[in-house]
């Protein structure tokens, strides 16, 4: 596998003009193609991303992380990529961890490799740490296997496998849905340790709206 050529980095963004330029630059050290999905930003995210060398998909209005990723994965397949590496656009994910994902894919033949922040969880904001562990326990029980970090958006995904599973979530529940659907379809899922990077960025998750939406999704799929 020639990761530089066969893998595209996918970065969904909302108002990330401060971080997106350096992130694109650093990610391009590992893969040739970077696709940024500007999900209705009102700042200069699109221009900065394009200047840094990214291909751009722009939504005129905010459609949600799940919708952005689905658009990106479809684009990636159409353009002949075999793998998609997803990262958040706010600088939480270090490009230095990218080789660990590639190594895990080679060594395990997993179709989905997920970043695991929980080995260094003390550096996460306590609310995110508690919520992530709570969600991960429930997703693990439903999946029938231990999933240490079900909400991490830093992932390497085989696109041929993705094309064989349903994807309906349009918001932040996409991370949970993809995990469960890959496992239900019989694909191997594995985790790799990654750095925990939290600065002063503001989460794009709306505590009330997105929590209610996640519970609605959970009740539907847990029946």
How many distinct structural domains can be found in the chain? 1
What is the share, in percent, of the chain residues with pLDDT greater than 90?
66
Read off the CATH number of the domain in which 92 is found. 3.90.550.10
Confidence tier at 214 by pLDDT (50, 70, 90): low
pTM above 0.85, yes or no: yes
- Exposure pattern of 127-159 as b/e (b: 16+ CB <10 Å)? ebbebbbebbeebeebbeeebbbbbbbbbbbbb
- Exposure pattern of 84-99 as b/e (b: 16+ CB <10 Å)? bbbbbbbbbbbbebbe
pLDDT higher than 90, residue 217:
no
Q: If you average pLDDT over residues 95-112, what whole number do you get?
A: 97
Residue ranges of E strands in the chain: 7-13, 33-39, 55-59, 83-86, 112-116, 155-158, 189-193
Among the ranges given (15-29, 76-90, 118-132, 171-185), the one the predictor scored with the smallest mean pLDDT: 118-132
Confidence tier at 110 by pLDDT (50, 70, 90): very high
pLDDT higher than 70, residue 210:
no
Q: Determine the pLDDT at residue 141.
A: 85
Q: If you average pLDDT over residues 64-75, what whole number do you get?
A: 95
Q: What pairs with residue 113 in β-bridges?
A: 156, 190
| DSSP character at residue 90 | T
Q: Which pLDDT tens digit goes with each residue over 154-167?
A: 999 999 999 999 88
Q: Which pLDDT tens digit goes with each residue over 39-59?
A: 999 999 999 999 999 999 999
Which residues have a Cβ under 8 Å from the Cβ of 103 and sit 6 or more positions away? Answer: 192
Cα four-point dihedral sign 37, 40, 41, 45: positive
Domain hosting residue 8, numbered range: 3-221
20, two tokens: 């997106």
């Amino acid at each position: 596998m020639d990761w530089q050529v066969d893998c595209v980095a996918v970065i969904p963004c909302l108002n990330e003009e401060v971080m997106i330029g350096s992130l694109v630059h650093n990610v391009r050290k590992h893969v040739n193609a970077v696709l940024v999905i500007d999900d209705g930003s009102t700042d200069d995210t699109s221009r900065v991303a394009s200047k840094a060398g990214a291909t751009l998909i722009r939504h005129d209005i905010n459609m949600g992380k799940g919708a952005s990723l689905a658009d990106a994965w479809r684009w990636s397949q159409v353009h002949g990529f075999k793998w998609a590496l997803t990262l958040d656009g706010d600088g939480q994910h270090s490009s230095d961890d990218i080789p660990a994902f590639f190594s895990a894919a080679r060594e395990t033949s997993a179709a989905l490799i997920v970043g695991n922040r929980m080995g260094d969880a003390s550096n996460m904001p306590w609310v995110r740490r508690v919520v992530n562990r709570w969600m991960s326990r429930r997703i693990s029980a439903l999946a029938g296997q231990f999933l240490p970090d079900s909400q991490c958006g830093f992932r390497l995904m085989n696109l041929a496998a993705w094309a064989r599973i349903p994807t309906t979530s349009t918001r932040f529940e996409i991370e949970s849905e993809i995990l469960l659907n890959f496992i239900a379809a019989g694909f191997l899922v594995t985790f790799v340790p990654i750095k925990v990077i939290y600065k002063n960025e503001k989460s794009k998750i709306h505590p009330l709206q997105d929590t209610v939406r996640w519970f609605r999704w959970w009740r539907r799929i847990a029946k």
